[in-house]
Copies of this chain bind each other. A is one copy, B any other.
Amino acid sequence: MGALDDGHFNAELENGVKLNCLDLGFEDQPETVAIEDAVKVLLQGLGEDINREGLKKTPLRVAKALREGTKGYKQKVKEIVQGALFPEVGLDDAVGHAGGAGGLVIVRDLDLFSYCESCLLPFQVKCQIGYVPSGQRVVGLSKLSRVADVFAKRLQDPQRLADEICSALHHGIKPAGVAVILQCLHIQFPNIESLFLDSSHQGWAKALVHSGSGVFENEFADVWGDFLSLLKFRGINVDKTQMKNSMQQCWCPSQCSSSAKVIGPPNPGMVTAVTSILSSLGEDPSRKELVGTPSRFVKWLVNFQNANLEMKLNGFACGRMDPLKQNGEVSHNKQQIYTELNLSFWSQCEHHLLPFYGVVHIGYYCAEEITPISKSLLQSIVHFYGFKLQVQERLTRQIAETVSSLLGGDVMVVVEANHTCMISRGIEKFGSSTATIAVLGRFSTDSAARDMFLQNIPNPASGRS
């Protein structure tokens, strides 16, 4: 019946529920299998054992996440908008503008999530959309969000994303004009070498882009002023002047020269594997913007290669002391809690090959005759265990064990993180964060000690105002 040749997203209901009748199950589809194979090549290229328990299903999880995260290629704006155009009378032009004829309509603060076409990493988007209805009709408000999502769920660049949302809405709604503003945040490309020299190499690459059609085509039109005012009094500060040239020359950090000095050229087998992933997602790997993407993604991955780091950092194992001996004899002197807060870290979730990042707080009791560990050594320990394929629970334990072996046993570690895998993959829990604790020695039995340490951790929200 030919059904098996027919592509895999035959029918797609408005709410994203798929009815792939007569089709192969997701796991058996050739695209899924091809991505799985490619991910196995990548894991092996990183020197990982693909049969290790935590990694066994990683290829399938990555395939699911990538196909879910790029499902916009299969979605049609026309179908989304068509059923949601409603007649709505406006005002006579001589009287004013409102309703279906000229009254500006705005949807603010849509959280979106997209994949950077330059490096394949996800980036976050705050999306502001305005349009001016005409022809006595308006569109269902949620459709602005749905249409934006269709284009976010592709491999993108901020300006193109803004232009595509704007143009699709303009053609779908046929209004007097559409305005789109995107505030985009791209994870940095931490370079293990530079991180040890300069731990401030953190933060985000930012881009502020806009796109306008119809009455918004002229950037100096008054209607842009109305739109920006309506954003401003909700705390969204987009200045008209800012909007000029705010896009950096290379927004994706993978294209900045500083992060380019990776040891040697990328492994050709891994590059080929990423190229095959691009094809499986329905992209053309020879498209100009995608040509360098596979090697840039491999460079990112190689940052999280175990072997390289083990060699570089085996230094601090030498400093070990016997924790039990210390612990037994001098415990009465250990009255002082030393803390080192907000040590930043980067890591790669081994279940989804997606970054997670955040801060580590370390507290320890230290006998007087022992010099407290320097912040830079603690930061090195954090990076050492961060720059791997990891899970947060293990990272926390490993940091605690290492600090404990240096200092004699009474250690508490809190890791706070944001997981990219919690916001991509259709879960979209944008505001969520995770925390894990490890407690050793005195901290595991003395809740007052734990409390004293936890009270020291600052609340970033209260410092923000």
Q: Which of A99-107, A152-160, A202-210 lines the interface with chain B?
A: A99-107
Identify which of B106, B391, B441, B459 contacts A435 (C-beta below 8 A).
B106
Whether A241 is near chain B, meaning CB under 8 Å from some CB there, is no
Tell me the smallest distance from the CB of A22 to a CB of chain B, in Å: 7
B391 close to A95 (CB less than 8 A): no
Interchain CB contact under 8 A, B454 and A96: no
A97 close to B (CB within 8 Å): yes
Query: Which residues from B are CB-within-8-Å of A297?
Result: none
Chain B residues with Cβ below 8 Å from A53 are: 86-87
What string of 1s and 0s marks CB contacts (under 8 Å) between A51-77 and chain B?
001100100000010001000000000
Q: Which of B25, B233, B393 contacts A459 (CB 8 A)?
A: B233
The majority secondary structure among interface residues of chain A is: mixed
Answer whether residue A421 sits at the interface, using C-beta atoms and an 8 A cutoff. yes
Is the CB–CB distance between B434 and A108 below 8 Å?
A: yes
Known contacts: A54-B86, A86-B391. The answer to whether A230 contacts B437 by CB under 8 A is: yes
Chain B contacts for A54, CB-based, 8 A: 86-87
Query: Is B428 in contact with A230, judged by CB distance below 8 angstroms?
Result: no
What is the 8 Å Cβ interface bit string for chain A, positions 38-57, against chain B (1 contact, 0 not)?
A: 00000000000000011001
In this complex, the member of A90, A142, A396, A461 whose beta carbon has the largest number of chain B beta carbons within 10 angstroms is: A142
Q: Is the CB of A462 within 8 A of B235?
A: yes
> Interface 1/0s, chain A 76-104, versus B by CB < 8 A?
00000001101111110001111110111
Give which listed residue, B14, B413, B458, contacts A233 with CB less than 8 A: B458
Closest to A223 in B: B447
| Set B102, B105, B400, B461: member contacting A234, Cβ < 8 A | B461
Complex CA distance for A225 and B450, rounded to whole angstroms: 9
Residues of the B chain whose Cβ atoms lie less than 8 Å from the Cβ of A18: 17-19
User: Which chain A residues (193-231) contact chain B, with CB distance < 8 Å?
Assistant: 222, 225-226, 229-230
Given contacts A103-B438, A107-B432, contact A451 B96 (CB under 8 A): no
Contacts of A393 in B (CB 8 A): 88, 98-100, 103, 105, 133, 138
Q: How far is the CA of A229 from the CA of B458 in the complex (A)?
A: 11
Known: A20-B21, A88-B391, A431-B430. A437 touches B111 (CB 8 A): no
Chain A, interface residues (CB within 8 Å), range: 35 or more
Partner of A14, one of B64, B226, B441: B64
The CA-CA distance from A190 to B394 in the complex, in Å, is: 50
B110 touches A145 (CB 8 A): no
Query: In the complex, A165→B352 CA distance in Å?
Result: 25
Chain B hits for A103, CB < 8 A: 393, 396-397, 436-439
Tell me which residues from 23 to 38 in chain A have a Cβ below 8 Å from any Cβ of chain B. Answer: 23, 25-26
- Which residues of the partner chain B approach A21 to less than 8 Å between Cβ atoms? 20-23
**What residues of B have a CB within 8 angstroms of the CB of A68 in the complex?**
15
A328 at the interface (CB under 8 A from B): no
Considering the chains assembled together, what is the distance between the CA atoms of A404 and B94 in angstroms?
A: 14
**Which residues in B have their C-beta under 8 angstroms from that of A391?**
86, 88, 138
Report A410-450 CB contacts with B as 1/0, cut-off 8 Å: 01011010010110011111111111111111011001001
Residue A16 interfacial (CB < 8 Å): yes
Q: Determine if A314 is an interface residue (Cβ-Cβ < 8 Å).
A: no
State whether A419 touches B141 (Cβ < 8 A).
Answer: yes
CB-CB under 8 A from A344, the residues of chain B are: none
Return chain B residues, CB-CB under 8 Å to A102: 444
A90 to B57 alpha-carbon distance, docked (Å): 22
A426 to B146, CA, bound (A): 10
Kindly report which residue of chain B lies nearest to residue A462, judged by CB atoms. Answer: B235
Contacts of A436 in B (CB 8 A): 103-106
Least CB separation from A107: chain B residue: B434
- The answer to whether A400 touches B98, judged by C-beta atoms less than 8 angstroms apart, is yes
A399 to chain B, nearest CB (A): 9
Most chain B beta-carbon contacts within 10 A, residue among A89, A409, A433, A441? A433
Give the 7 A-B residue pairs with the shortest CB-CB distance, closest first. Answer: A465-B465, A98-B438, A235-B461, A96-B440, A99-B397, A222-B447, A98-B397
A-B contact pairs, 15 of them (CB 8 A): A14-B64, A15-B64, A15-B68, A16-B17, A18-B18, A54-B86, A84-B351, A89-B397, A99-B438, A103-B437, A105-B436, A106-B436, A226-B454, A235-B462, A465-B465
